[in-house]
Amino acid sequence: MNNEQQSRRAFLKASGSLVGSSWLAFHSPLILAVSQEAVKARDSGAAFETLTAAQAAELDAISAQIIPTDDTPGAREAGVIYFIDGALGSFGGGMKEAVIAGLDDLHRRVQSQRGEAALFSGLTAPQQIEMLRTVEDTPFFALLRYLTVAGMFSLPSYGGNRDKIGWQLVGFDNRHHWQPPFGWYDAQLTKGDGNA
Amino acid sequence: MLEPRFATGDPADFVIIGSGAAGGVLAKELATGGFDVVVLEQGPYLRAGDFRHDELAYIFNQELTGGWEGKSPQTFRKTGKDKAALKDLPPPAIYARLVGGSSVHFTGNYWRFHDVDFKERSLLGPIAGTGFADWPIDYAELEPYYTKVDWEVGVSGAAGPFDPRRSRPYPLPPLPVKSSGVLLERGAKKLGLHAFPAPMAVLSEPFNGRAPCAHCGYCMGFGCEMGAKSSSLAAMIPLAEASGRCEIRPECTAFRLDTDAKGRVSRVVYWDEKGREQAQQARAVVLSANGAETPRLMLASTSSRHPDGLANSSGKVGKYLMYNGWTAAYGLFEHPLNDYKSVQVTRIIHDFYDSDPKRGFYGGGGIDARPGLQATPMFFALAGLPRDAPRWGSEYKRMLSEYFTRSMEVNGHTTSLPLESNSVSLDPDVKDLRGRPALRFTYKDHPDDMAAMHFMQERSKDILEAAGAQRIWDLPVEESTITAHLLGTCRMGDDPAESVVDRYHRSHDVPNLFICDGSSLVTSGRGQPTMTIQALAFRAADHIKAFAKRGEI
């Protein structure tokens, strides 16, 4: 077994676990070039580079259930699918096979329940959630969760996190300089409140 | 001043392998002391301006730690009876590969060891089945060098109630307290414990021409773009180079040390930045490659005179590996803490530092409050919520928005007993891309180490409760399989049969081979080893310079 295979196998094994799913074998030299392409694609609504339109629609629907759109924007508005498209075509290329295979499996599940012509993205939201419950413990889902989170919260320059939607969701701000007070409790202390 | 270029065929006074916490100090001390120094560093030479706020690249792509794609595979097993398995996601040992080593990406907790850390075996007696031992030196002997680290590397802090005596105050005041520090102190006070300002290798004010911390929060796991983190890269390497006697050779991976007919080290064989084999002649060699890479090089450097590896007549090279136990509890609070800002740690607790026989086990430790890797949002979203929280969907999303700014982590940092069965060795089967045997880690915590972790986990939760947390959760305490601390694998001692280096860091077997890094430690301390590694390096440098001047190398 060569090292690439070892690496991929280790990843697939790890992707089933909470921590393992967050440690991926990305190829760093490609990141910058690819992310610039992903940003351009995202901002211009361009065609996908790696995924077919049909695959992208399905993956977009899945990521939109992982971080849904409700009273605040979710994965869809953050352009997560453009991050995924860029990642699978480059530094995350080792994941592509597992993503496509998982997608095919999901498609078969949808077809067996809803008929030959059915697509995951065509299901109602409650149906999509019910369907994802049946795969939520698979390495495939862990992978999609990882990619969705990465697309939501990594630097916008990677193609996702459009308008810093992910960071705004959690209340994070990427600055190069902060000054105290940093939070409510140290601010109270500065004000001389002994109960802080 | 132009950095000198030394010819590989001319013996350098010293070749130092590794440019991290210890190697950086030794390079600076030996070069400014008038010796010609070549530093071989396997990673690239990045400058402060190269570091980015890029969580995907640093935390997930491991851009600073490297080792992916078979470049440096590592295997792990719990005991010598098991077959070690490849484990690269994440690897068993995480360390940075670049000029400055792991001091570039570390957190900068600069606790000194206490008197007990050096003499605990005498104080408490032996522990069956372990290599529990006293150091050949004590705190008093190392104290001037701890002070040297404070003042030369740059440490911010204020003396705490349990600190050992110090000859000089900290050069810099503590960094401003964060909400996590305020809450830790609040909880501690209610329980009769004593939180105090964390000593940090991060500048709170301008110092030695370096800028202070801008509180950006990209600290643990990242390189400091301000140069405010007191890494070897920011604090030591520039001084070494300014001497005009030190050449830093980045992307040069040493893989063998050769000896001459007298059994002295004569040259270091390495792959250069283009992958070509080179050999640097040396009058003396200092190994500071870390507690895994140092024994790896020695074990790989076999010869008829050193059949079990260089300077390994004791058979102890790679043995007595210590990781430090680690625990994590978490609390959710009513108001925003924004713990993602500024340095990781601003308050610590040392009330449980000493081992107490009444607890029924050997061990002790310290506690601190910090955001951990959850400081950055991607890691937080993957692993920062309580274990029973939903992992996707609208409730998951709601919890992410509720928890990120309002939670904090309380860590316990504990002792690890030195066990001969815990080790770094060469894997007999797995090889890296260049055909070198992979690093093999064999590690299983002693039952007392586990007991110490459970104890600290409970104390951490007590503190969070007393601090008024609305919700408390934890990571279950488990046997260690992963570490950033690599300690004890070439331990220091007076007895050549029981240790690898003497009290001056000279190997017992090879007079011109010095070893100084985490591998020198005899005991693990309480979870923050870098301050001690650097104090040892300053002290070693003084002795090595004196030996060289007297012609005793």
Maximal C-alpha separation, chain B: 72
| Mean pLDDT of the A1-15 span | 38
Shortest CB distance from A154 goes to which of B55, B215, B336? B55
CB < 8 Å to A91, chain B: 61
Q: Rounded CA gap, B26 and A63, in Å?
A: 51
CB < 8 Å to A6, chain B: 70, 73, 86, 88
Mutation for B interface: A186, A190, A193, most B CBs within 10 A: A186
pTM for the structure as a whole: 0.94
| Mean pLDDT of the A19-32 span | 36
pLDDT tens digits, chain B, 553 residues: what are they? 567 899 999 999 999 999 999 999 999 999 999 999 999 999 999 999 999 999 999 988 788 987 555 678 899 999 999 999 987 667 899 999 999 999 999 999 999 999 999 999 999 999 999 999 999 999 999 999 999 999 999 999 999 999 999 999 999 999 999 999 999 999 999 999 999 999 999 999 999 999 999 999 999 999 999 999 999 999 999 999 999 999 999 999 999 999 999 999 999 999 999 999 999 999 999 999 999 999 999 999 999 999 999 999 999 999 999 999 999 999 999 999 999 999 999 999 999 999 999 999 999 999 999 999 899 999 999 999 999 999 999 999 999 999 999 999 999 999 999 999 999 999 999 999 899 999 999 999 999 999 999 999 999 999 999 999 999 999 999 999 999 999 999 999 999 999 999 999 999 999 999 999 999 999 999 999 999 999 999 999 999 999 999 999 9
Test B86 with A10 for CB contact under 8 angstroms: yes
Q: Rounded CA gap, B422 and B420, in Å?
A: 5
Test A183 with B401 for CB contact under 8 angstroms: no
Tokens of A67: 């971080």
Shortest CB distance from B340 goes to which of A19, A65, A172? A172
CB B483 within 8 A of CB B489: no
* DSSP label at residue B504: T
Q: What are φ and ψ of residue B183, in 5° steps?
A: -70, -40
Domain layout of chain A by residue ranges: 3-190
Chain A, window 39-68: residues with a beta carbon less than 8 angstroms from a chain B beta carbon: 65-68
Residue type, A40: K
Test A176 with B216 for CB contact under 8 angstroms: yes
Q: Rounded CA gap, A148 and B105, in Å?
A: 26
pLDDT level of residue A21 (50, 70, 90 thresholds)? very low
What ipTM goes with this model? 0.95
A18 pLDDT above the threshold of 80: no
Q: How far is B431 from chain A (nearest CA, A)?
A: 9
pLDDT level of residue A47 (50, 70, 90 thresholds)? confident
Residue type, A154: S
**Interchain CB contact of B337 with A (< 8 Å):** yes
Instruction: Provide the pLDDT for residue A35.
Output: 58
Q: How far is A45 from chain B (nearest CA, A)?
A: 24
| Mean pLDDT of the A78-106 span | 93
**Interchain CB contact of B328 with A (< 8 Å):** no
Assign B460 to helix, strand or coil: helix
Report the residue of chain B nearest A128, measured CA to CA: B393
Chain A, window 137-196: residues with a beta carbon less than 8 angstroms from a chain B beta carbon: 145-146, 149-150, 152-155, 158, 166-167, 169-172, 174-186, 188-189, 196
Q: How far is B178 from chain A (nearest CA, A)?
A: 6
Test B392 with A6 for CB contact under 8 angstroms: no
Shortest CB distance from A186 goes to which of B57, B73, B178? B178
pLDDT in tens, A114-134: 999 999 999 999 999 999 999
**Interchain CB contact of B173 with A (< 8 Å):** no
Shortest CB distance from A180 goes to which of B62, B176, B335? B176
Size of interface A-B (CB pairs under 8 A): 189
Test B335 with A4 for CB contact under 8 angstroms: no
Residues with Cβ < 8 Å from B435, sequence gap 6 or more?
A: none
Test B61 with A19 for CB contact under 8 angstroms: no
Q: What are φ and ψ of residue B85, in 5° steps?
A: -110, 145
**Interchain CB contact of B90 with A (< 8 Å):** yes
Instruction: Provide the pLDDT for residue A7.
Output: 39
Q: Rounded CA gap, B234 and B246, in Å?
A: 16
Instruction: Provide the pLDDT for residue B189.
Output: 98
Assign B349 to helix, strand or coil: strand
Chain A, window 89-148: residues with a beta carbon less than 8 angstroms from a chain B beta carbon: 91, 129, 132, 136, 145-146
Q: How far is A191 from chain B (nearest CA, A)?
A: 13
Q: How far is B338 from chain A (nearest CA, A)?
A: 5
Strands B437-442 and B195-197: unpaired
Tokens of B186: 């609040």
Shortest CB distance from B70 goes to which of A6, A21, A23? A6
Test A22 with B68 for CB contact under 8 angstroms: no
Test A182 with B337 for CB contact under 8 angstroms: yes
Test A25 with B69 for CB contact under 8 angstroms: yes
Q: Rounded CA gap, B300 and A28, in Å?
A: 30
CA distances from B246 to A24, B26, B33, B506 (A): 37, 11, 11, 21
**Interchain CB contact of B29 with A (< 8 Å):** no
Assign B198 to helix, strand or coil: coil
A15 pLDDT above the threshold of 50: no
A26 pLDDT above the threshold of 60: no
CB B107 within 8 A of CB B217: no
Chain B, window 110-129: residues with a beta carbon less than 8 angstroms from a chain A beta carbon: none
Assign B192 to helix, strand or coil: coil
Instruction: Provide the pLDDT for residue A169.
Output: 98
Mutation for B interface: A1, A3, A147, most B CBs within 10 A: A3
Test A185 with B176 for CB contact under 8 angstroms: no
Test A182 with B338 for CB contact under 8 angstroms: yes
CB < 8 Å to A38, chain B: none
Residue A18, sorted as left (phi over 0), alpha (psi -120 to 50) or beta, turns out to be alpha
